[in-house]
Amino acid sequence: MEYRTLGRTGLRVSVLGFGCGNVGGLMIRGAPAAREAAVARALGSPPMNEFAARRERGRWVAEDGTELCTADSAGAERARLGVRAEHVAPEGGPSAAPIEVVEDAGHQKIVVVRLAGTRVHLIAPRTSALRPGQVLHPRIDPARVIVWH
């Protein structure tokens, strides 16, 4: 294992790697957008939500036709979108999404819904009375969407 000194703290910490050699081929030979998406998915808990989408009349629309959120007028017509769970509100969005899982994480609830054929994680207040089977209309914050072209 390789160790390095962390800044000026004097602490020795191990170096983190994302894959190795041909096992981590994506990180060596993959397109930059694919590498960025893989790292974004791997970081954080819950994981990054991802959608394949197209820009349509000022909105991002998933491949299955599910409306996701507003889109800037500039940029690619098709893209891969990423959004963190904390940037998806339980209500206020244009499309219905049934709840699959509600996990009590102490100070908040992690909720998994099915939106655009994808399992989407969102954060809800601890006091929310949410349950599997209930239908939400998640609102994706368009200002926090990451667009990979």
Per-residue pLDDT of the chain (149 residues), as tens digits, is 778 887 888 888 887 665 555 555 666 677 777 777 677 666 667 888 999 999 998 999 999 999 999 998 777 789 999 999 999 999 999 999 999 999 999 899 999 999 999 999 999 999 999 999 999 999 999 999 999 87
Q: For residue 85, what are the domain limits?
A: 33-148
Q: Is residue 11 part of a domain?
A: no
29 close to 38: Cβ distance less than 8 angstroms: no
Q: Which CATH number characterizes residue 62's domain?
A: 2.40.50.140
Instruction: Report if residue 95 sits inside a domain.
Output: yes
Residues 6+ apart with CB under 8 A from 105: none
The pLDDT score that the predictor gives to residue 26 is 66
How many domains is the chain built from?
A: 1
In a domain, 8, yes or no: no
Report the relative pairing of strands 49-56 and 59-62 from DSSP bridges.
antiparallel
Is residue 61 a part of any domain in this protein? Answer: yes
Structure confidence at residue 61 (pLDDT)? 96
**Beta carbons within 10 angstroms of residue 135's beta carbon:** 10
The answer to whether position 25 is within a domain reads no
- pLDDT, residue 40, reads 64
Would residue 91 count as lying in a domain?
yes
pLDDT for the residue numbered 20 = 52
Coil, helix or strand for 71?
coil
- Is residue 4 included in any domain, yes or no? no
* Residue whose token pair is 């908040």: 108
| pLDDT value, residue 11 | 81
